[in-house]
Amino acid sequence: MNKPTKNLLFVIFLVFAFLGLHSPTKAETTTEFNPNFILSDEEIQDWQSMGRADIQAFLDNYTGVLKSLRAPDKDNQEKLISDIICQASIDYKINPKYLLVKLQKEQSLITDDTPTQRQLDFATGYACPDSAPCSDKYRGVGKQIDAAAGIMRWYYDNVNFQPWIKKANTEYNIDNTIVIPNTFATAFLYTYTPHLHGNQNFWLLWQKWFQQIYPDGTLFKTPSSSAVYVLQDGKKRQITSMSVLISRYNPNLIITVPDSELARYDSGKNVSLPNYSILKVNSNYYLLDDDTVRPFANYDTVIKMGYQPEEIIEVTESDISGYTVGTSISTGMLNPLGRLVKLKENGSLYFVKDNKYYPVPDENIAKVNYPTFSVETVAIKDLTNLERGDLVIFKDGTLIGIKGTNAVYVIEKGLKRHIANEDVFYGLGYDWKNILWINETTATNYKGGSPLYLRATIANTTSSTNTLTIDTAEDSDAPRFEVGKMVTTPADKTKIIGKEFSTNMDVYLVADYTTGKVLAGKNIDTVRPLASFTKVMTAYRLMKQNLSLTKAATYNEAKDKSVYHQFRITNGEKIRNGDLMKSMLVSSVNTAAKILANQVEKTEADFVKKMNQQAKDWALKNTVFTDSYGYDLGNIGTAREYLTIFRNTAKNTDILKIMALKDYEYNEVLDKDNKPHHFDSNSNKLVSKKGLSFTILASKTGYLDEAGSGLVMLVQRPKDKKKFVIITMGNPDYAKRFDDPQKLTEWALKNF
């Protein structure tokens, strides 16, 4: 019989005593609404916190009509609501989470599956003052979403010019209460909704959806205590001993969270009894099976099934009051604890319990769900008299990854919740070595749940000034771009080369890779910001200057940190140059580019001079670089000239291999924050798309508001191995930024 022995439980108890686990002190405070601080400016402007797929997954997780609704957007183009939210967040650089909360707070549209037309018409409450009818000008859910995001950006842009916009660090009387907003975001929320109650409702929804982020099944503790808790049904349940912990969970999965995080969760009933314990309550005997207590028919049944009197634990009625009473156990019942069996005929795994057998589709599930069970080999005929049960799924809180990808999820209630990137993964306290890698077939057994988010760190500080400023560099020779507006070639100056491809993209170019001949193009001589296309020239110059990909670089924050720094790296950490190159070219990490530039030159400015000299050597008259990663608007060029840069760079096999990666992972050479592992997928989503009619040999993405979305690819036609360079720039549809490049490539392969 597969059950913990008395000696094992005794050893576990000694381990527990040795580790010194004890009850924690009660948390001093819980999170409460602070009218002076509702959101930070960083949070409300974190427009990249959710992508279109994340927004759709969030809507799918609720019952509201918005998850499948299609409606006209601000331009009267019918789209899914998730697309409209995504586009508004991109257009105005406002967090899509803000819009989701706004839709629920104003009209309950996230959860209401049968809203009235008025709820949809004025979805975010925009232009609906308390004292007057709502404005027909902004009627419609698409216009409402756009306006809700747009007005927040407008507040930021005009707060110094419009005295009626509420400001940070200024005293206001809100519903007879003195409020001094600590942030502009908080002040703007009061400008939009000048009431305490409405903003408290907003805050409560934000806390519920985006602050309490850990899934059920999470094991956690705090730095100040060794007490361990499991999150179940949204409540923290203290695990009172190591013997209980080991009998139910894997201690390696315990994560450490701040005391303030633990305080967010209400307390549930303690987990105080080891699994599979034999319990005596008065004259009745029970088997504890997870959260179920199964009564034995009588004491003789307990003894006949192999249990000894010293294994029985006497408890009270209150000790088992929170457990579900399961089916009774009699001497004729098969496998009350269960057996893990493998068929000798085909190797299939099953969990056999009572008179049922349950398919176990992956050995990892057996390791997680039945860690104390050994596998028995049986014949198919041994299952013929048993009833087939449901498919066994992973326990809540299990970390899984899909083989062949870097997609990582955590299981909760049969759903797989996506962990978008390593910042979220490590920020939540997870450990890479605890991921169980499963095949894609097994993964299809789990529908997608809402993605996991990382709580933003709120710096509750005040500023000495209420002035918002933007610093811009001046260069009399550089073309002038309107900040925040995509460069677009005027219709009367649009030029088409060769056959025309119908698209809203401002620029496209199709070229023969071998000869460099332009086969088709649109506006290929328009000068525009290069954005992250710049990093390809950076890679070329790095290899030209003999950068060793095997050597490691030490991060110096004062020297290496870039603008728009989104790289999880700590001062003094070391990463191999080859891995930094992956971060730069595959994930388009800005700081990685600057670190590498500083490896071959004393300063980034010196390196940029070499980039510009290289452009001159190639006779690129319209190409200029002002940084190594493309964030500055001074990095400019044309599609025609960029073809030269890309073709020359692709000749380097080391760079070509990196630019062909679907994803990557690596460990730091020297780790200082106990988070050595990095991983990500290619920012070009086409490289992972199945069923393409072409092979992608290398690619690079680029995006700035002023540049629009851009994609350059080296592709190959399968039937004759002919290679093409495809360049697209000025794509205005960020949410569908890969659709037209795919269509263009398919068109090119048919026509050339």
For residue 712, the surrounding DSSP H or E stretch is: strand 708-716
CATH 3.40.710.10: which residues of the chain?
491-751
pLDDT digits (tens, 9 = 90+) for 575-621: 999 999 999 999 999 999 999 999 999 989 899 999 999 999 999 99
3-state SS, residue 94: coil
3-state SS, residue 444: coil
pLDDT digits (tens, 9 = 90+) for 629-664: 998 888 999 999 999 999 999 999 999 999 999 999
Residue 287 predicted with pLDDT over 60: yes
Mean residue pLDDT of the chain comes to 86
By C-alpha distance, which of 147, 96, 91 is closest to 485?
91
Alpha-carbon gap, residue 366 to 218, rounded angstroms:
19
* 600-611 residues labelled b (16+ CB within 10 A) or e (exposed): bbeebeebbebb
Six token digits for residue 657: 């291999």
Alpha-carbon gap, residue 23 to 21, rounded angstroms:
7
Q: Is there a contact between 234 and 216 (Cβ–Cβ < 8 Å)?
A: yes
Share of the chain above pLDDT 70, in %: 91
Alpha-carbon gap, residue 40 to 339, rounded angstroms:
53
pLDDT digits (tens, 9 = 90+) for 680-732: 889 999 999 999 999 999 999 999 888 999 999 999 999 999 999 999 999 99
Residue 411 predicted with pLDDT over 70: yes
The burial of 210, by beta-carbon neighbours within 10 Å (0-12 exposed, 13-18 middle, 19 or more buried), is given as: buried
Residue 461 predicted with pLDDT over 50: no
**Confidence category of residue 482, pLDDT binned at 50, 70, 90:** low
> Cα angle vertex 68, ends 65, 74, to 5°?
90
Q: Is there a contact between 105 and 123 (Cβ–Cβ < 8 Å)?
A: no
Q: Is the dihedral of CA 84, 87, 88, 94 positive or negative?
A: positive
Alpha-carbon gap, residue 252 to 243, rounded angstroms:
14
Q: Which residue has the higher pLDDT, 627 or 212?
A: 627
Alpha-carbon gap, residue 424 to 405, rounded angstroms:
17
**Confidence category of residue 291, pLDDT binned at 50, 70, 90:** confident
The pLDDT value given to residue 479: 54
Question: What value does the mean pLDDT take over residues 10-22?
Answer: 36
Q: Which residue has the higher pLDDT, 56 or 608?
A: 608
Q: What is the CATH number of domain 491-751?
A: 3.40.710.10
The pLDDT value given to residue 357: 93
pLDDT digits (tens, 9 = 90+) for 254-268: 998 877 678 777 888
3-state SS, residue 390: coil
Question: What value does the mean pLDDT take over residues 510-515?
Answer: 96
How many residues comprise the chain?
752
The pLDDT value given to residue 334: 62
DSSP 37-80: BS--HHHHT-TTSS-HHHHHHHHHTS-SGGGT-EEE-TTS-EEE
pLDDT digits (tens, 9 = 90+) for 191-240: 999 999 999 999 989 887 876 578 899 999 988 888 999 999 888 999 98
Question: Residues near 464 by Cβ (< 8 Å), separated by ≥ 6?
Answer: none
The pLDDT value given to residue 473: 32
Question: What value does the mean pLDDT take over residues 104-120?
Answer: 95
> Cα angle vertex 568, ends 562, 571, to 5°?
70
Alpha-carbon gap, residue 120 to 110, rounded angstroms:
11
Residue entry with tokens 């026509």: 751
The pLDDT value given to residue 361: 93
Residue 205's Cα: distance from chain center in Å?
20
Q: Which residue has the higher pLDDT, 738 or 300?
A: 738
